[in-house]
Structures are given as structure tokens and as C-alpha cells.
Amino acid sequence: MCKVPLLSSSGEPAAATIEKDEKAPLKSASKFTADQQTIIRAGEVWRSHISPAILVFVIVLPMLIYQKEYFSTFFHDTWYVPIMGIIGCTIPSGGAPVAGGVVFLPILTMKNIEAHEAVAFAASTQMIGVGIFAPMGWMSRDPTVLMPSFLKPMFPFALAGLLFSYLVTPLEKEDEVLLAFTIFVICLAISEEEEAENNSQSTEEVVEDEESAEGYGTMSTTAPVVERQMSKAERRNIVFTPKLFVIYAVCCFLGGMLCGWIGIGVEKVTFFLLTYFHKVDVIAAGLSSITMTGWLSFFAFLLHAVCTPEDEGFGPHLTCGLKDELNPGGHVFGKVPYELWLSVLPGILIGSLIGPVVNAAVGPR
């Protein structure tokens, strides 16, 4: 502590003094609640202890299963899958509102894997990659990126859409899946280009406004008072009006249907809703959206695991959907490729840890 003398009106030091800190005040530790601080500590344990242990386990497990055939069969056939997993999980873990299926499906179809099976792979991978690993990777940094006020009321509508697409209106032909995926990717590219242009225009407007302000000098004290903008934390607390609730519910239902058809899609729909209507920051909107995709993928995985036709892999081969000429058994097309799934697990775990680091280095965009 140092003492700073007070000056009198004549400029002479006054008798009284005030004390001033030599150091800047410490950053307030009240940014997070006690429960959130507990989550942060759990996230730190996850990053430092649990995730390395899981990484070792998922690397060793295929070696134990395949033993002498590990290199000649397993590694020879699936060497590219961990790389695909790193890329596919780094993107959404970094805050981008696109799940790994956008990477998995085109690569797997180029490897002559049937489209329905590629969707099943995306579901089995995303339920862990963006349903567990990606959110846990962010808990030590910012536990508020997941927004319960959005996920709790909207997830049931997205799940209803997913189940409806699988059991009532499935895409039974491979060409239909590929066509739907192609249309989605085209729309995704267009939307990303428009967002980039809007961000560029917004940046230019801000620069022009700052330059204009500098030219005018001191602002008038009679300028109208601008309404206080909501903080990031306040925007992350989603409050629905009846109209917005209906809009979100319908869009989540349709996004869930899209997720059932091609393995992805709902995350981009909800990202747009959150950033457009509630002005949520891109990190929270992106992470909450892909987490919803991961949770939906768990139910998609179950359907692929237990409802596939009898000639497609393991499972009880239950009748789950409506029967028709193309699907007389009422099954879900596309078996889960467990060999590829075992191979991708190390990649998606590594990607989930890289994503937040990349975001911190280059920003959310």
C-alpha cells in the first residue's frame, strides 16, 4: 500500500492522505456460481486425468480384441478413421455448429460404405464425440456454454422429429440419403458465405462509426441514452415468448427429422435460432447445438443397433417402424460398423481436446 497526499485548493499538500493499492485489484472470482466452479474443477480432472486414461483404453482395446490380426486386419482397414475422427470432432468442439457427420458421410461413401451404414456410424460416433467428449472438454473453461434453458424444453421436440423420421418417414433408398445430404451441404455452404459477408459488413460499419466519432470530437452530453445491452450471461439464459416457443419447437422437430435422415442438421437449425432471435454468442450457441445432436445420436444409435434387418450385422433385429414394400420387416436400414467405431474413438477424444485450444487461438470464427 502507498499513501497519496491530498492537495488543497492552493496546491499545497493537505494533512489528510488516502491509501492506494500498488497493484491492480484482483479479478473477481464471482463470475461463476459455486455449482459452476464445481463443474470447472470436474472439467479440469477430466482433462488432466480421465481423458488420458480413456485415450489409453480405447487405443489398447482393439489390440486386445484383434491380437495378432490387429495390424494385418484392423489397422490395415481402418488406419484413416482416427484421422477422420480428429477432424470431425475438432470442428464442433471448437464451437462450429456442424457435427462430425458432415466429414464422415462423404469419406465413408467414397470408401464404398453404404449411405445408411455411414449414417449409423455418424450416430454411434457423435453420441460420444459431441454428446460427451466435446461438452466435457469445455467444462474446465466455461461451464455456461451449455444452456439448460434451451436444451431442456427443446430436446423433446427434436427427439420427436428424429423418431418420426426413423419410424414413419425413413429414407429407404441410398440415393435419397445422398441427395438429402447434398442439399444440406449446399445450403450450409450458402449460409456460411452469407454469414461471412454479414460479419465483414458489420466490421466495416463499426470501423466507419469509430472514425466518424473521432472526426466529430467530443460527443454531446444531450445525446439520447442508449438502452443497456444484455450481457453474454443474460443472453445465454433463454426466455421464450409463446411465439418464439412455437418457432423453436417446430424448427427443432424438423431439425430432428433431418438428423434422422442424414445424421446431422439440427445443430445448424438451432444455431441460427439462438443467434438470430436471442443473440447468443457463437460459442454457447454452437456447443449447445452440437450437444443436442450428440444426445439425439444416442437414440439413433439404439435404433440402428436393435432394429436393423436380419441380414445386417448383430442385434435382435426388432420391428420398429412402419412396414411397406421396400421395408416389409419394418426395420431401420444401416447396421452399426463396430470395427470403424472402435477405430474412431481415439480420434474423436483427441479432437474434443484440440477444439477448445484451437478456439482460444483463432477465436470462434
Helix (H) or strand (E) holding 182: helix 174-216
d(CA 361, CA 263): 29
Phi, psi of 146 (to 5 degrees): -90, 125
Q: pLDDT tens for residues 92-132?
A: 999 899 999 999 999 999 999 999 999 999 999 999 999 99
Cβ contact 233:36 at 8 Å:
no
Cα distance between residue 3 and residue 225, in whole Å? 38
- Closest by CA to 99, choosing from 300, 283, 253, 259, is 259
Given this model, what pLDDT does residue 207 score?
41
CB atoms within 10 A of CB 313: 17
The CA distance from 24 to 186, in Å, is 51
Q: Please tell me the predicted confidence (pLDDT) of residue 305.
A: 94
Residue 234 identity: E
Q: pLDDT below 50 — which residues of the chain?
A: 4, 15-29, 202-226
Radius of gyration of the chain (CA): 26
pLDDT at position 365 is 56
| pLDDT recorded at residue 364 | 62
pTM (predicted TM-score): 0.83
Q: What is the pLDDT of residue 182?
A: 95
